[in-house]
Structure 1
Amino acid sequence: MKLLKCLLLIVLIVIFTACTPLTEVQRFGSESSKVISDTELAKLFKSSYSRSKYAFEPGSTADLSAKSNDADRKKVFDDYIANQQAMASYFQVLAKLAGDEEYDFKENIDGLAKSIKDIPESKLDKIHVDAYAKLVEKTTEWITYAARQKNVRKMIQESNEPLQILLDGQMILIDVYKGTLNQELAMIDDMYDQEFTLIDTSKNKLLLHLARKEREEYRLFYKAKLKKTKETKKALLKIKQGHKSLLENVNTLKTDKFKTVFKKFNDDIRSAKKTLESIK
């Protein structure tokens, strides 16, 4: 009878241990997904011409060149969004495996593009294209698995390489978005400088005042969005480091030492998310 009770106790301990959520890993997946899901910078990149077209003479060489660049941006936009969705979906699945099997997905995994394109207009080359395909394959494979520690370990091990490549690619895109915003700001500043020279300040003081106020509003807008590019890169770097730490500690995810160390990553990512949300 005592032996039976001991065996039952061991079985219960094993079951409880196997089903105990990896809270910090689950939190990391959830918070990382929220950061990566933000597509505002990509949308600003796509709509660049709609803001800067007033700096060009309609039909001029500069205007035609800007329209050509606009077409290129629209051509790669879907791939840029797909890149973010693939990573966000991966982290959602990671959160599911690390915790509650009933995790509520915000992205439609089945709707993920099966591939992105390696084209001259894109800053994503073949290495990113291949990594995207591999990460999507792994994500769609693991979504059907139950929340078990061994599944979490295997997913982290199999997905780290393509994920790191895509995170590097995303940081490259953030630099592209930053460059586009800086270019817009420079063109708009130049446009106002030229317009100010045409205003008769002795007769149109109110017009000059309104123009200067409008220019300052533009500058504040770009200052905020450029700050967002900086803070987004910082958050992505922290996510990269966090996932690398998961891989390095993949066999000790339940230990108190790991939880204490990794809690700092999660606190930093959550703080970064709040900073990004505060930028309007």
Structure 2
Amino acid sequence: MLRSLSTRLLLLCALWVGGCASTGGPVSLQEVREFADASARLGGYAELARRYRDTYEREQPYLSPATDRLGRENDAKRKAVYEDFIAIQKTLVLYMQTLSLLAGDTRYDLSARIDDLGNGLKANTESGLQQRHIAAYTGMTRLLTRVIASGYQNRSVETMVRDGDADVQVLLDAMIQLTRLYYKTNENEKKTILGIFDVEIPFSTRNSDRMLVTLAKVHYLNKATEYKLIDRRYELALQGLTKVALGHKKMRENLGKLSTDEFRRLLENYGRDLRTIRDGLSGE
């Protein structure tokens, strides 16, 4: 009897130890956290939005009286939508920050960040903001308000990604469209300013204009270099936003597999690419 009992106890212990070994330690979501951090810190977009808003300040010294009126009208329109454009970015940054904290093992309190959420957006045909972008923004603010205010630490990463992906994709689409708008506006600015030099310099042939022409050429080269650098920032910003959208889509498609080695390597690559893009955006 004792021998039989001892045998059963040994068998139970073996099964218990085996079960512990197969279960392993806590699930690692380090790559999810790093991807979300890199997405939140991508940068570039806010700078380009401000540049779009301040277009008139750079153009004004070069505008003729006839075109200055149109410049002021466009300036008012850009400033009227600027806060909406930035609100989209703030909301996505807060989403990524929340996702990063969910993927970590430390409890945080983001309740104060609720104030960063705007009161709503307005559709704008000129900027490309559509009702679906407005609806996605509303849905995202509701999700964040609910998660943060209700103790988001108790919610899983999978739940956050599943509930948020559709709105994330639409809002990133809005940011991509807006970045293209910034790009186009910058192209028009570049043509306006550099075009003046292209027209005026060849006709300034008098000896008395020599010093003025020299200064104008130096200024032209400086402006041309500035626009070349800014063009590169637009390209990097578009690459970064596209990479964030793809990475989040992959998470949505692989719910339940986020801790597998294959998916962790995939998401690690996305995070590394985003950090490289961020370095390019922060450089000169």
Q: Normalization by structure 2: what TM-score? A: 0.87
Is 2:177 aligned against 1:172? yes
Is 2:59 aligned against 1:52? yes
Is 2:220 aligned against 1:219? no
Structure 1 residue aligned with 2:79:
74
Task: Give CA deviations for 1:151-182 in whole Å, capped at 9, x if unaligned.
Answer: 10011001000110010111100110001111
Q: What is the SS of the residue equivalent to 1:64?
A: helix
Q: What is the SS of the residue equivalent to 2:218?
A: helix
Q: 1:199 to 1:37 in 2, by over 3 A?
A: closer
User: By how many angstroms is 1:208 displaced?
Assistant: 1.3
In structure 1, distance between residues paired with 2:239 and 2:233:
10
Is 2:88 aligned against 1:83? yes
In structure 2, distance between residues paired with 1:178 and 1:226:
7
Task: Give CA deviations for 1:99-126 in whole Å, capped at 9, x if unaligned.
Answer: 1434586x82333103111234442111
In structure 2, distance between residues paired with 1:128 and 1:78:
15
Of structures 1 and 2, the one with the larger relative CO (CA 8 A, separation 6+) is 2
Q: 1:264 aligned to 269, 278, 281, which one?
A: 269
Aligned pair count reads: 273
Q: What is the SS of the residue equivalent to 2:42?
A: helix
Most deviating of 41-50 and 138-147: 138-147
Q: Percent identity?
A: 28
Q: In the alignment, residue 41 of structure 1 is paired with which amino acid?
A: L
2:35–2:271 contact (8 Å) kept in structure 1: yes
Q: In the alignment, residue 268 of structure 2 is paired with which amino acid?
A: K
Q: What is the SS of the residue equivalent to 1:108?
A: helix
In structure 2, distance between residues paired with 1:37 and 1:226:
12
1:21–1:100 contact (8 Å) kept in structure 2: no
Q: In the alignment, residue 109 of structure 1 is paired with which amino acid?
A: I
**CA RMSD in angstroms, aligned pairs only:** 2.7
Q: What is the SS of the residue equivalent to 2:156?
A: helix
Q: 2:213 aligned to 192, 205, 208, which one?
A: 208
Q: What is the SS of the residue equivalent to 1:222?
A: helix
Most deviating of 34-43 and 260-269: 34-43
Q: What is the SS of the residue equivalent to 2:41?
A: helix
In structure 2, distance between residues paired with 1:39 and 1:218:
21
Q: Normalization by structure 1: what TM-score? A: 0.88
Task: Give CA deviations for 1:120-159 in whole Å, capped at 9, x if unaligned.
Answer: 44421110000001011112222354546x6100110010
User: By how many angstroms is 1:29 displaced?
Assistant: 0.6
In structure 1, distance between residues paired with 2:228 and 2:177:
20
Q: 1:123 aligned to 112, 124, 128, which one?
A: 128
1:167–1:240 contact (8 Å) kept in structure 2: yes
In structure 1, distance between residues paired with 2:193 and 2:218:
14
1:171–1:233 contact (8 Å) kept in structure 2: yes
User: By how many angstroms is 1:88 displaced?
Assistant: 0.7
Structure 1 residue aligned with 2:31:
24
Larger Rg: 2
